[in-house]
Amino acid sequence: MATATESQQVQATDAAVAPPVGRKVVDEVSGWLRVLDDGTVDRTWTGPPEALPLMKPVPAYAEPRDGHTLHDLPGKPNLRVYLPEVVADGRLPVIVQLHGGGFCISHPSWLMYHHFYARLACALPAVVVTVELPLAPERRLPAHIDTGLDALRRLRSIAQSDAGALNDPAAELLRTAADFSRVFLIGDSSGGNLVHLIGARVGEDGAGNWAPLRVAGGIPLHPGFVRATRSKSELEARPDSVFFTLGMLDKFLAMALPEGATKDHPYTCPMGPNAPPLESVPLPPMLVAVAEHDLIRDTNLEYCDALRTAGKDVEVLVNRGMSHSFYLNKYAVDMDPATGERTQELVDAIKSFVARH
């Protein structure tokens, strides 16, 4: 996984490409993707060119940079591993990242994810494993859930391997550095939905079926939980954003949910009447981050309230003055003091949560 797959790599170009001769655009998410009448998907970026650097893939590197190394583990699924250079007493917890993008776009090698998860690996410290997820509409849900579970199975297999039995040096480094009994699922935006859904599936299977791997906690960051009816925060007037609009939300979920499903589906509304009662869902302890100015702030808070009512172990961090996935915008984090401060608060909260579980 040294670079993004072909369909994902094409997203990071600023050339406005016309559909192939004889093909028509039948659906579109402005700036991000176009579905053609032959079923293929063009993810050429056609939005503002200043957003392109955040989508640039970052190659792996075995020589330390900024206190860590970065390794690719090709396979099913492809994984990417951040290993901090630390002298630790014992092994490091494992953070498994499930990227966002409305289930339809993005890749874990992009700079927007890299800058935050490299920082997180060093700050905790922890081994961070990012997962290359399938993309809708070519592969609709539950494909993303299945891939996340496959990633955990792959980690379990590495944990069960004997010294020297792994053919990949990066996998051997992971085996010796990681405490697989302290795995934390973390997800950005739609990846936050996967934290809940995958965490529940692991809980349903029972600890014995996953040993020696154990999911010790879940960290949904601005999860994509919504309802079919608009919430108050969705209807509030907000500045235009190339990264998150109501139009994007509606289109991406229409492409990603099972055919015929509405946003009240359990994948996007686990606190709704169509989902299993949360009291019956075996979830790990949760830290949920909610952005104060997020379009879907209200349904995120509703999810948190529903977890509390169901007796779940949940902590909530509200990112004051911030919008959806603000911490992924490296340039705002570096140059805007408020964004930088809120990002540090987020890192500190994750560090505290991991340390206590």
Give the active site residues: 189, 294
Tokens of 137: 């509409």
Crossing angle (nearest 10°) for helices 337-355 and 111-123:
50
Burial tier of 10 (Cβ tally within 10 Å: 0-12, 13-18, 19+): middle
- CA dihedral (304, 307, 308, 313) positive or negative: negative
Q: How many CB atoms lie within 10 A of CB 227?
A: 18
Task: Walk across the sheet containing 33-36 and list its strands.
Answer: 25-29, 33-36, 41-42
Picking from 251, 1, 32, 16, the residue whose alpha carbon sits closest to that of residue 131 is 1
Closest residue by Cα to residue 137 from 269, 252, 5, 20: 252
- From the list 164, 90, 94, the residue with the least C-alpha distance to 131 is 94
